[in-house]
């Protein structure tokens, strides 16, 4: 259950023939996050780096305010998937029980479990900014990004999120869900006390509003997306003080919000 890849026999078909071959697929596993003994959410995720996923999700969704409010994380394989059991501060658990609802997170949907349109209204805390970003750092790390995505290289169908600081990729995480990949990155960074203002989050996916909201919750000042942002994501980033970059390539990119934090070239 903890293997992120699965091997399967397939048939390759062309105009000339059909032949048997081996293919590698990315696993998509139900992962339940259990807080102080109560299951809160089920995510469909790649079954690796699950403590980082649980920590990052807890922070980006406001279940805890800081990493120190998570006392313990244990990963258990069960018959239907994987349980990640977290022990959190009593005050945070009491608040979670107040708002608790069962939801099912899916890889392409950020609204599963939302029970009213009012609950969709986007809001993000304002990020305190300092310093600027060098466009050269963005361009050079994009050239290295592929080397940090071994699951995509073997199986495809996964997203990646990396943290870049000082012109170097410090860590990268992959998952079938783009939100999960970012949560894994946030979970890792919170444990390492990264300065979210001295660098940027590089993501292989589009920049949806949920990605911006999670970044804002963590205090990340800049998001660089390989694909496009949505209009809602741009509005949210503008209000949150986040520099949002899309269509990032090694030789060009588009700055949608707060260009004053990008150094002139």
Decide if 114 contacts 63 (C-beta within 8 A): no
Q: Give me the mean pLDDT over the 23-39 stretch.
A: 94
Q: What are phi and psi for residue 260, nearest 5 degrees?
A: -65, -15
Please say if 109 is a catalytic residue. yes
At 163-192, the pLDDT tens digits run: 999 999 999 999 999 999 999 999 999 988
Decide if 207 contacts 229 (C-beta within 8 A): yes
Per CATH, which fold does 29-120 belong to? Ubiquitin-like (UB roll) (3.10.20)
Q: 234-240: long-range contacts (C-beta < 8 A, 24 or more apart)?
A: 235/122, 236/122, 236/124, 236/209, 236/212, 237/207, 237/212, 239/124, 239/126, 240/124, 240/125, 240/126, 240/127, 240/212, 240/216
Q: Which of 109, 130, 188, 222 is catalytic?
A: 109
Compute how many other C-beta atoms are within 10 angstroms of the C-beta atom of residue 198. 13
Mean pLDDT of the chain: 89
The closest of 136, 155, 143 to 265, measured between CA atoms, is: 136
Two structure tokens written together for 217: 């919750």
At 114-138, the pLDDT tens digits run: 545 555 556 677 888 877 899 999 9
Domain boundaries, the chain: 29-120, 135-261
Superfamily for 135-261?
Answer: Cytidine Deaminase, domain 2 (3.40.140.10)
Decide if 41 contacts 33 (C-beta within 8 A): yes
- The rounded distance, in Å, linking the Cα atoms of 137 and 141 is 6
pLDDT category of residue 264 using cuts at 50, 70 and 90: confident
* Per-residue pLDDT, 104: 44
**DSSP sequence for 114-163:** --SGGGG----PPPPP-S-B-HHHHHHHHHHHGGG-HHHHHH---EEEEE
Q: Which residues are known binding-site members? A: 247-252
Question: Rounded to 5 degrees, what angle do the CA atoms 66, 168, 157 make?
Answer: 75
Tokens 């078909």 belong to residue = 13
- The residues near 18 (Cβ < 8 Å, ≥ 6 apart) are 11, 12
- The residues near 176 (Cβ < 8 Å, ≥ 6 apart) are 26, 27, 28, 44, 45, 46, 107, 157, 158, 159
Cross-strand pairs, 38: 35
Inform me whether the pLDDT recorded for 14 exceeds 70: yes
At 33-48, the pLDDT tens digits run: 999 999 999 999 999 9
Q: The pTM is what?
A: 0.90
């Amino acid at each position: 259950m903890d293997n992120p890849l699965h091997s399967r026999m397939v048939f390759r078909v062309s105009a000339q023939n059909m032949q048997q071959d081996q293919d590698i697929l990315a696993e998509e596993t139900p992962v339940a996050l259990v807080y102080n003994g109560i299951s809160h959410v089920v995510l469909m995720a790649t079954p690796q780096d699950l403590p980082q996923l649980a920590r990052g999700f807890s922070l980006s969704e406001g279940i805890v305010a800081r990493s120190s409010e998570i006392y313990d994380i244990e990963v258990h394989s069960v018959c239907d998937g994987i349980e990640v059991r977290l022990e959190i501060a009593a005050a945070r658990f009491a608040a979670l029980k107040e708002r608790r609802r069962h939801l099912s997170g899916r890889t392409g949907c950020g609204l599963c479990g939302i029970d009213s349109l009012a609950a969709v209204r986007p809001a993000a805390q304002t990020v305190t900014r300092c310093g600027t970003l060098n466009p050269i750092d963005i361009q050079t790390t994009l050239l290295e990004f592929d080397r940090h995505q071994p699951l995509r290289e073997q199986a495809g169908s996964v997203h990646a999120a990396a943290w870049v600081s000082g012109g170097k990729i410090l860590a990268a995480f992959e998952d079938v869900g783009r939100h999960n990949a970012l949560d894994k990155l946030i979970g890792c960074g919170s444990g390492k006390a990264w300065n979210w203002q001295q660098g940027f989050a590089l993501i292989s996916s589009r920049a949806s509003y949920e990605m911006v909201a999670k970044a804002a919750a963590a205090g990340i000042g800049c998001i660089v997306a390989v694909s496009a942002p949505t209009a809602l994501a741009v509005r949210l980033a503008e209000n949150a003080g986040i520099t949002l970059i899309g269509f990032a390539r090694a030789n060009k990119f588009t700055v949608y919000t707060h260009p004053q934090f990008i150094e002139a070239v």
